[in-house]
Structure 1
Amino acid sequence: MSTLYDITIIGGGPVGMFAAFYAGMRQASTKIIESLPILGGQPHILYPEKMIYDVGGYASITGAELTDQLIQQMNHFNPTICLEEKVLMIEKEADQFKLTTTKGTHYSKTVIIATGQGSFKPRRLPFNYPEVFEQTNLHYIVRNLEQYRDKKVAICGGGDSAVDWALALEGVASEVSLIHRRNQFRAHEGAVQQLEQSSVQLLTPYIPKQLHSSDNRQIDQLTLSKKRSNDTLTIDIDYLIINYGFVSAMDEVSDWGIQLDNRGILVDRAMTTTVPGMFAIGDVAHYDEKIKLIAVGFGEAPTAINHAMSYIDPTSHKQPIQSTELYL
């Protein structure tokens, strides 16, 4: 049988990583199981270069920087990390849990679920196109602004992300075109005002109609169709960024034997689910008056860890020593 861990955390986003750090402070053997190929969750995947302003202690920090800081913090205790592994089933067996994943079986005394808003995937364009484009110059996420330097970039979308990236790329790309199916953008008023005063080419009300490729590997041109008209427009592009948002789902959680509703996994004040020994923290957890913020999840993590340690050993203290008393 594989190693029995004290705590297994499902989800390697900010809250899951902070929970792993705190579990290390409690000297718990800890494992993280993450379905994606990298740690960091939505801040790292969806907005690695966008600023986050509501994390305590940072005037501003990007999603990538926050991820790096959390990894450094967590690595004081070197938890076991399992990437690209999706949890399919959780079964209670006597005084332990059996976790069946896409890669094998894990055993743990307690389980902490920190899966955020669940698995997510980008909304694609509303017509078929070769998936190879997604490996070359059709992107759903901006990971590195420098990749677009001196290039012609087209962005599809009308919300905050699309407008923010258009403005961020204005001083990097040679040309930025923002394509939206309506004349009005749904982004924050200040950003829209800044957009209207920028050099970004606004193509409204247009929708993408066809992708053109000379080598069947990457996109050379994009044809747009004007709404309520037969007019079309074809533009040359080096990169196409689709900002139609992401679809999230918690389908797998419903198979884990815990109670949930359309707002998330139901937990009590100890962050305990309806199954003793299983806890939930972060956006996936729900209780009355819940506020979904990273900062709130950071506060829920120590609560869950301390009660998990008390579940393992009822004689342990729920209120541990302060980190300032430890040498890391």
Structure 2
Amino acid sequence: MEQELMRILTGGWVAQATFAAVRLGVADTLHGRRLAPEQIAEEVGADPGALRRLLRLLAGVGLAYADDKERYGLTPMGAQLRREALGPLAALYGEDYFAAAWGGLAHAVRTGEPAFEHVHGKPVFAHLAGDHDKAAVFNAGMAAGASFFRHVPAAYDFSGPRRVVDLAGGTGALLAAVLRENPEARGVLFDVPDVIAAAPAHLERMGVLDRCELAGGDLFDSVPEGGDVYLLSRVLHDWDDERCAVLLTNCAKAMAPGAELLVIERVVGRDSYLPLAFDLHMMVMTGGRERTEAEYRALMEEAELTPGRLLDLPLGMRLLTATR
């Protein structure tokens, strides 16, 4: 019992060790290789003795391994810390302003107010808007954490000449994943103008820019009309029930009869550790929350939408459909 408690109490130290390894580029250096600590230290610019101690802990928690010559390599889980995988998400979670916000968790629990605003003096998105470098790390982390996007076209049938509208879709990672698997479909990417301005380069790299319409605006004012399918991924958890009701009502107003809304979120309930952890994370960062299936269905019904299927996706994500 005491051992398990100590594991929980020191979990933050393991996370910080992981963040440090990502910042140093250890996972990228070790990709496909086994190297001695001295070799790794030379490549990443670190003290060999200190790096050896870091590597031992990474091996102790299953992110790395050492052979009989003390050459270190990556386990399959550790390989996910590369830049091309979940490394940018680890870098985001390791940002100082994230840790500082979590220091305000007790305040959030006492008052119900977002910890981030209490600690930093402004909401998280306003905080990011004033710092291009932080915003870049945030956007890269969100993109890395969206690796489940590639599974969405397999979970839901987008086939045919359909108009797919991605609401608050960032630079279009999810929309691009859908369009690449469905060559007859066309897309509309909708987000705030500053975000939309950065989208064309990404959509062009993904080879779908010629099938995309870009639209800037505010979800809480209105959303584009005329879509066959609307995507709303990791948006509702940012907001309280009142704001979600406004957003979903705007979706319902824009949707023609037969159009379908796909809400992608973590759902509290089955396999609930990650949704529960992210529920506290949203309380800290935005004042939002993760919800149960029943709570999402109630929000949809309040907006005069009819909830439908609940589909499983990787990383604890789920897809809930609704029709006008």
TM-score range, shorter chain: under 0.3
Greater helix fraction, Structure 1 or Structure 2: 2
- Specify the structure having the higher radius of gyration (Cα): 1
The two structures have a TM-score, normalised by structure 1, of 0.27
The two structures have a TM-score, normalised by structure 2, of 0.28
Greater strand fraction, Structure 1 or Structure 2: 1
